[in-house]
Structure 1
Amino acid sequence: MSQGKRSSLGRGLSALMADLQTEDNAPAAKEGTLTVPIEQVTPNPDQPRRVFDQSALAELADSIRHRGVIQPLIVRKHPDDDQIYQIVAGERRWRAAQMAQLHELPVLVRGFSDEEMLEVAIIENIQRADLNAIDEAASYKQLMTRFGHTQDKLAEALGKSRSHIANLLRLLNLPDQVQEWVRDEKLSAGHARALVTAENPVPLARKIIDKDLSVRAVEALMREKDGATAKPSKRAEKDADTRALEGDLSATLKMKVQIKQAGEGGQLVISYRDLEQLDKLCQVLSAGV
């Protein structure tokens, strides 16, 4: 990511987060709140969340009918029409307000750039309790690769532990089919974490689904497989920091990475599934040359 693109995010992550942390404030208590006709508000075309649970929206609409929209939407002026406001955060409230047949909405107008608008939309989605583990991990990955945030910075700003973020990022190393099963809630995040180090995660995931195996059963199965294939002496030499580094590298490259230490030196082994992955790896390695 170029330095110029990073500098366009002048507010910084902490300031962007501050605009989202108004959950308990009524509109009148927030300076700068406007009330605008609902037809003058349009959704973000780059909204990361594409699926909105209709039953949850119906519940929110019922609440809005009785209490109104308590938390203002964060908007910006539409880049092509200054009479229209574009949603930065709060599309669920906008959709529910339409279901509740509201005519006006409370909004906070912010001068966000396109980059900042996307960044805030991603952060808002991460804060949603119903976000599945894969989409949450993909959001962290996007914040890191597109906006240059580190795991430590995200953990501090979002109130998450660094290990939580690192463990979720490792799920992106799983094959697409397994990730899709997690999105469809056929597999839990716990199941997915247990599959990250599996040699053949897809057939094992199918077995979990078909036999309705618990996370503990899968972890026990993985320990049995590790015991049958790994030498105990070498396994004991690999400490927690090394395993964490393997996980971080795997999450970054989206390929399985193994660190094999031998005294002060060692080997870094990167496994790729196909020639397309190999080509991507070569591009990554040659980028810094």
Structure 2
Amino acid sequence: MSKRLGKGLDALIPSLNVSEDDKVIEIPLKELRPNPYQPRKTFNEDSIGELAQSIKEHGVIQPIIVRSVLRGFEIIAGERRFRASQQCGLEKIPAVVRKFTDQQVMEIALIENVQREDLNAIEIANAYQALVDQFQFTQEELSVKVGKSRSHIANFLRLLQLPEDVKQHVSRGTLSMGHARAIVGVKDDKVKKELANLTVKNEWSVRYLEDYIKELEEAKQPQKNKPKDKRKDPYIDQVEETLRDRYRTTVKIKHQNDKGKIELLYYSKDDLERLLELLQGKIS
């Protein structure tokens, strides 16, 4: 992640630091509630457990930052410390109370997590969209706020166009950002889901997936100056599908008058060697 921040957020970061002049108070955990704008939906339990063990031995060294709200306090920075303290069974936690607007709270929650790379791609996309919806930011204004290029913002927001099943794969990490960017360009949602499932099942690389999508798109293009093909034999369709599943690659069968040829496409030397091993195994 880039260390450059937009001017708006850059001015906010010092307010997250605790100095010797700050008044630190002990706040009961039951009076605290998480930041409602927190984009991170899942926390690493092992990491929280390690922090809890450290707190048991040394206490909470760095106070959390909160703001006063109706019926208690809202956590601005330090939710991991809060969760770990709950796990330890503590009743109170050291905190510094500051004043923040809703917009500042939202921006801080986003930048604190994004800079630490704690969010997955879908959580980042949702956080960006929330800022756009809540404060009517343009993509250009948002790019300045978070210190990222406009294309970076656009690429993440496009991920929200993916079907829910595909977004779940991205959230779990079974699909990478590169895979998601390739799939989101496909128009048909049904095809997007099929591509996602094939990619996860067969462990396709991003390059392999991109080439596979390219093959699909080219197959849809009308052939110029050529007569239209006769309706394809359903049996040939079935055989192609069987071979695609078996060899995990694009398969074309060219058939005419009971004669023809079978083409297996490969996209790298490693891919070719993989196919040769499979074919040799079938022959031997």
TM-score, scaled to structure 2 = 0.64
Q: List gaps (5 residues or longer) in structure 1.
A: 1-12, 233-289
The amino acid across from 1:34 in the alignment is V
> Map of 1:118-137 to 2, 5 A cutoff?
118-137=106-125
1:220-271, CA deviations, whole angstroms, 9 ceiling, x for partnerless residues?
A: 1122223333589xxxxxxxxxxxxxxxxxxxxxxxxxxxxxxxxxxxxxxx
The Cα of 1:77 is off from its aligned counterpart by: 1.2
User: Cα–Cα, structure 1 residues 21 and 177, in superposed 2: closer, same or farther, change >3 Å?
Assistant: farther
User: Cα–Cα, structure 1 residues 131 and 217, in superposed 2: closer, same or farther, change >3 Å?
Assistant: same
Matched with 1:58 is 49
The Cα of 1:89 is off from its aligned counterpart by: 2.6
1:193-230, CA deviations, whole angstroms, 9 ceiling, x for partnerless residues?
A: 11011242011111111111111110111222233335
Counterpart pick for 1:222 among 193, 202, 213: 213
The Cα of 1:161 is off from its aligned counterpart by: 2.9
Matched with 2:80 is 92
Matched with 2:69 is 78
The amino acid across from 1:43 in the alignment is R
The amino acid across from 2:170 in the alignment is V
User: Cα–Cα, structure 1 residues 32 and 18, in superposed 2: closer, same or farther, change >3 Å?
Assistant: farther
**Is 1:197 aligned to residue 185 of structure 2?**
yes
User: Cα–Cα, structure 1 residues 96 and 194, in superposed 2: closer, same or farther, change >3 Å?
Assistant: same
Q: How many angstroms apart in 2 are the aligned matches of 1:18 and 1:69?
A: 26
Find the residue that maps to 2:24 and give its secondary structure. Answer: strand
The Cα of 1:138 is off from its aligned counterpart by: 0.9
Counterpart pick for 1:37 among 24, 27, 37: 27
The amino acid across from 2:131 in the alignment is L
> Map of 1:71-220 to 2, 5 A cutoff?
71-80=62-71, 84-100=72-88, 104-114=92-102, 116-198=104-186, 199=188, 200-220=191-211
The amino acid across from 2:198 in the alignment is K
Find the residue that maps to 1:86 and give its secondary structure. Answer: strand
User: Cα–Cα, structure 1 residues 159 and 70, in superposed 2: closer, same or farther, change >3 Å?
Assistant: farther
For the 8 Å contact 1:33–1:72, the answer to whether it is kept is no
Q: How many residues align?
A: 215
The amino acid across from 1:73 in the alignment is I
Matched with 2:247 is none
Find the residue that maps to 1:88 and give its secondary structure. Answer: strand
For the 8 Å contact 2:27–2:95, the answer to whether it is kept is no
- Between structure 1 and structure 2, the one with the greater Rg is 2
Find the residue that maps to 1:165 and give its secondary structure. Answer: helix
Q: How many angstroms apart in 2 are the aligned matches of 1:39 and 1:184?
A: 30
The Cα of 1:135 is off from its aligned counterpart by: 1.1
RMSD of equivalent CA atoms: 3.1
Deviates more, 1:124-133 or 1:216-225: 124-133
